Amino acid sequence: MPREIIDIPSTRPVRRLRRLRRSPAARSLVSETKLHPHDLVQPLFIKDSGEPEKVPSMPGVERIPLDRISAHCAKLQDLGLHAVALFPCTDPALKDPSGTAAFDPENLICRGIKALKKTLPELLVVADVALDPYTSHGHDGLLDPQGDVDNDRTVAALERMAVLLAHAGADWVAPSDMMDGRVAAIRTALDDAGCTHIAILAYSAKFASAFYGPFRDAIGSASSAGTRSLDKRTYQLDPANRREALLEAALDEEEGADALMVKPAGPFLDIIREIRERTDLPLAAYQVSGEYAQIHAAAQLGWLDLKTARDESLVGIKRAGADFILTYFAESWARDYQKI
């Protein structure tokens, strides 16, 4: 058979973009988005005592006993991670409809914060401000007689909780409840309590997402509610609403938030980009438990390469405009970064 002849175009391309992709060194020099351990925050689940417990829906994630939390975080610091976000696994016996345990100065989260600030004072500790780890119904606030979350009573409760966490030693408080007016109320409460130095990281665009299920397993709010798909649509954002998300972020900035957040990250990269273009405040994104779990699940089935998919997902979030990322991949990513 005659050999096939491939004609070379008479007009060759002036721009050959592949020239800058020819080697790892060249690609590194022209990389537009850089990721560093300092850009990542490791969320941690703490329990009161006993041995570490695996979270079945989150491979590689454990509930860490209080007496091991400092040693664990020291290892994170050695990897170059500078910040952690703490979430308590509250004993079900301590949960009630009013989330009473949230206001106990000796509750699990307060003891965890104190332990970390005593042994690792330079570690930045972010403390969640919401009632779902403490309520028997699993919602983020106090319920009214009709069973919906009562906005203003919940905000009053969150003010108390934020001050308590600040006094325990939290560097940042992070209201994740999505109540109207809570950032301004918490800012006033912190300032009145002499905590003007405590920053507020506002969960500004927190969507009513299907990707929170593994987290609810980890902290026990799913078992409290009897379902991991607890309906929080009366206070969390509709995933279809872009303009409302931008309005929420603008309101939090007006109310005195020090940094804003989008949650989840991956399905809402467009929101991250739009908020980034509208604010000069630091912007965070939370790569949530379901995002983490789905990458692991696909990798376990051999459908994705775990590290490559992990890295691509994190770079995509950073490229969209996030200054820093809360991710359960922080520790593994930082460990691999050190090997480079």
CATH class of residue range 35-338: alpha beta
Residues carrying an active site annotation: 206, 263
Q: How far is the CA of 150 from the CAs of 143, 144, 235, 244, in angstroms?
A: 5, 5, 10, 20
CA end-to-end span of the chain, whole Å? 50
pLDDT tens digits, the chain, 340 residues: what are they? 556 666 766 678 889 999 999 999 999 999 999 999 999 999 999 999 999 999 999 999 999 999 999 999 999 999 999 999 999 999 999 999 999 999 999 999 999 999 999 999 999 999 999 999 999 999 999 999 999 999 999 999 999 999 999 999 999 999 999 999 999 999 999 999 999 999 999 999 999 999 999 999 899 875 555 555 689 999 999 999 999 999 999 999 999 999 999 999 999 999 999 999 999 999 999 999 999 999 999 999 999 999 999 999 999 999 999 999 999 999 999 999 998 7
Q: How many angstroms separate the CA atoms of 73 and 37, rounded? A: 14
Q: How many angstroms separate the CA atoms of 255 and 184, rounded? A: 5
Establish how many alpha carbons lie within 13 A of residue 177's alpha carbon, considering only the half-sphere containing its beta carbon.
Answer: 35
Domain extent listing, the chain: 35-338
CB contact at 8 A, 290 and 210: yes
pTM score, two decimals?
0.94
Closest by CA position to 175, among listed 194, 195, 155, 191: 155
160-171 as b/e, with b when 16 or more CB fall inside 10 Å?
Answer: ebbbbbbbbbbb
Token digits of residue 312: 């691509």
Residues with Cβ < 8 Å from 55, sequence gap 6 or more? Answer: 45, 61, 62, 63, 214, 217, 218
Q: Which residue has the tokens 């609810």?
A: 216
